[in-house]
Amino acid sequence: MRKYGVIGLGQVGATVAYTLVQRGTVDELVLIDQNEALARAQKLDLDDASPRLSSTTKIILNDYAALADAEVLIIATGNIGAIDMNSSKGRFGEYDSNQAIVRDIAPKIVASGFKGILIDIMNPCDVMTDYLQRMTGFPRNRVFGTGTFLDTARMQKYVGQALKTNGKNVAGYVYGEHGNSQFVAWSTVSVNGQPIDQFKTLDLTQLEEDARQGAFAVMAGKHYTNFAIATCGVRLAEAVSADAQLACPVSAYDPQYGTYVGMPAVIGKNGVEKLIQLDLTTEERASLAASAQFIKQNVDALPQPVVES
């Protein structure tokens, strides 16, 4: 039996839940939200869809104890209204509210006996992923975030559009923070197998900025993002269940920097199976180190777990 949990049932969490149910990915789904009326409404809506689906999913509501035998837990809580598109804070608008949520839910997750893989979508993603790991004490491989998985997809989209090809034909990675200090590692990018530097007409600086600002382009119209990030979360969860050994960028713990940061890794049944260390340029390595330092200093500034002597 395949069983997942989702904490946070706003636009992103609800889309994750709907996608899992619609695809028949799970047999049981634990849905948790502090807003009980919202949680109940999401369950009712999904239950109403059930007679028209080819699969059946049992939905369990607001029961942390039910997470004990869950394979994957996706954290999608947050306050999208706190994100300020018009300031440099960006996703850090959720920093204060989400760190408080982590301190609330982490002990409940631990007390449930959950032994699966925890995937974080909360913003700022890298900081909150690191904080979740610290507050739960789970092994670092068992906790990772969506990180630059979505930013890389945006880069693929924009490069593909510029070259009039499908973004799926674009390979390569966005590294660093899921935020303003991210960067495209152009040394890793190719199109139809050809290195990106062979396409002389491309404005790489503009394409990188387009990828960085992709979320805000969506939010300008509907004030939140949900389809793309939920797709990323579901894809990563399914990679865990299938032991897919999927090579993709996520927010993973890198001991070199002592924090979580967006970089390519292999995702399988144990979560982050290994990091993929590519031969970056000197400039790219410096950008990654600077981004990781920014993430770490923001995690270190948060109240830390009490270590019993």
DSSP code of 178?
S
Instruction: Tell me the pairing of strands 246-254 and 259-268.
Output: antiparallel
DSSP code of 165?
S
Q: Is 297 exposed, middle or buried (0-12, 13-18, 19+ CB in 10 A)?
A: exposed
Rounded to whole angstroms, what are the CA distances from 306 to 87, 139, 141, 246?
34, 17, 22, 35
d(Cα 131, Cα 260) in Å, to the nearest integer? 9
197: which residues sit within 8 A by CB, 6+ positions away?
186
Rounded to whole angstroms, what are the CA distances from 277 to 106, 112, 127, 265, 285?
30, 35, 21, 8, 11
d(Cα 212, Cα 183) in Å, to the nearest integer? 8
d(Cα 62, Cα 59) in Å, to the nearest integer? 10
Strand partners, 145: 120, 251
Residues 121 and 147: beta-carbon distance below 8 Å: no
Residue 177's identity, in one-letter code, is: E
223 part of the active site: no
Instruction: Tell me the pairing of strands 183-191 and 170-175.
Output: antiparallel
Residues 72 and 16: beta-carbon distance below 8 Å: no
| DSSP-derived 3-state class of residue 70 | coil
Which among 3, 178, 212, 296 is annotated as catalytic? 178
The token pair at 246 is 């999927």
Q: Which residues are catalytic?
A: 178
